[in-house]
A and B are shown apart, each in its own frame.
Chain A
Amino acid sequence: MKRAVRLLHAGRLRPLPALALVLTLVAGGFAAWAGQDWYRAAHDEQAEYAAQRDAALSAGEQAVQNLNTLDHRELKRGLDLWESSTTGELHEQLASGRDEFTAQVKEAKTVSTARVLSGAVTELDDRAGRARVLVALRVTVEAADGAKSDKDSRMLGELTRTDGRWKLSALGQAPVGGTSTG
């Protein structure tokens, strides 16, 4: 009699652990799937490349803006910023021409302020750490007498990644009426 009761009892208890086991297994399957999905998303080369592209663009835009901004009253700060935004040949050029340039700007007493209108990355070599950007820029120059003039320019910049940061290694105006290169 007792046995029967106990058996009945056991019979009543069995389905619950079975269900729990199944649910746990399902949960495990879900966790495993989600885990590997996350792993793939986190180690997606495309996403890494896209992140590099965006990093290069924002660094490029900022650097181009920096190099077109200079206040004769704060020359040292401005020129330090120029040097910290650049690398390679461009950096050397700026550093070697610094004194001469300082004298010129002090003489002219100009204040240039640049604003990036738009920018895009045209080439990106993620491994080599090189990129090319297009930047449409508006530079406002305030002369010594307070007269302001706006000038739009289109810049082509080349970026090189140094110590994990993108810096300008070359900068120039896109030539007008020159040869076409898409």
Chain B
Amino acid sequence: MTPTWLQRRPPPPEPGTDPAPDPADPPATDAPDRDAPATDTADRNARDAPDRDPDDRDAPDGDAPDGDAPGEKGVPHGRLRKAVLAATAAVLVLGGCGFFYAAHQLRSQAPARNHALTDTEATTRVAGDVGDALARIFSYTPDGTAAAERSASTVLDGRAARQYETLFARVRDDLTEQRVTLSTRAVRTGVIELEGDRARLLVFLDQSSHRGDGNGNGKDKGKDEGDVEATTAAAQLTVTARLDDDRWRIVDIKAR
């Protein structure tokens, strides 16, 4: 096949040396482009043969084969290299995205976000603050409810503050009348959740109340007054706290 082409073709390029190679060249580089996908088919030979002919036809022209041979081999190589490069880049980008996503997943998992116990300092601090706050707001003497209420205004906020006010408005008169002394202690405090500036805690409280029978020295927050009537009750609360100006304030209290 080639020989016939060679025989038939040589004449035309020779007269038009300049214009001929120009149109001939782009097809030569283009041809492998189209050929690349069908490299290993029989088609290739059929289609390649005529395409290569202009190159072969260049052969008699002199230095053409020198320039063409590498061109012909080099271009598919370049293509291959480009394809490999593109594939590598795609794999790397995909892999990177995969890792990125996996890392994000790991970090945003609930256990990792909850810093209860993992951040020992913060955990101890919120437990201490909340325990103290509860002890203060739920401890009072018949004449000293104002102190408890003052503490409440500094350590309570939001719903908890409203709950406390409602509660106190209801019992304030009774407290004074019945000379009730209440002392509260946080026996155990466990941090359920600690995430940023919010925390949820489980607190076990002991509350002992004394009924003073109106003997007047309620301000002693007395152990010696009405001791016989002292009753201790256990309470379980879940408390939600918020870090505000570097201080934990209780925003919600639920009795359990």
Contacts and interface: CB of A to CB of B under 8 A. Distances in A.
A53 B234 contact: no
Contact of A33 (B29, B96, B186): B96
A44 B105 CA distance: 13
B81 interface: yes
A35 B95 contact: yes
A31 B99 contact: yes
B71 to A, nearest CB: 7
A113 B127 CA distance: 31
A37 B103 contact: yes
B138 to A, nearest CB: 15
Interface in B31-75: 64, 67, 71
Interface stretch (B150-158, B169-177, B187-195, B245-253): B187-195
B22 A24 contact: no
Nearest to B97: A34
Interface residues of B, number: 60
A80 interface: no
A128 interface: no
B21 A118 contact: no
Interface in B73-101: 78, 81-82, 85-86, 88-90, 92-93, 95-100
Contact of B112 (A1, A16, A46, A177): A46
A164 to B, nearest CB: 17
Interface string B201-215: 110101010000000
A108 interface: no
Interface in A48-99: 49-51, 53-54
B116 interface: yes
Nearest to B135: A180
Interface in A97-129: 117-124
Contact of A181 (B18, B102, B187): B187
Contact of A35 (B96, B109, B116, B232): B96
B85 A24 contact: yes
A42 interface: yes
A50 B88 contact: no
B99 A156 contact: no
A144 to B, nearest CB: 28
A118 B254 CA distance: 11
B96 A117 contact: no
Given A117-B236, A136-B236, A44 B187 contact: no
B128 A182 contact: yes
What DSSP secondary structure best describes chain A's contact surface? helix
Interface string A24-49: 10011011111101101110101101
A41 B106 contact: yes
B107 A136 contact: no
B77 to A, nearest CB: 11
Contact of B118 (A37, A42, A53, A117): A53
Contacts of A154: 188, 204, 234, 236
Contacts of B90: 27
Nearest to B208: A177
Interface in A6-31: 6, 9, 13, 16-17, 20-21, 23-24, 27-28, 30-31
Contacts of A51: 111-112
Contact of A119 (B97, B202, B208): B202
B49 to A, nearest CB: 22
A176 B71 contact: no
Contacts of A16: 82
Interface of A: 1-3, 5-6, 9, 13, 16-17, 20-21, 23-24, 27-28, 30-35, 37-38, 40-42, 44, 46-47, 49-51, 53-54, 117-124, 133-134, 136, 152, 154, 156, 174-178, 180-182
Given A27-B88, A38-B99, 14 more contacts: A17-B81, A24-B89, A31-B95, A34-B95, A37-B100, A44-B112, A47-B112, A50-B112, A50-B115, A54-B114, A120-B191, A121-B116, A176-B206, A180-B206
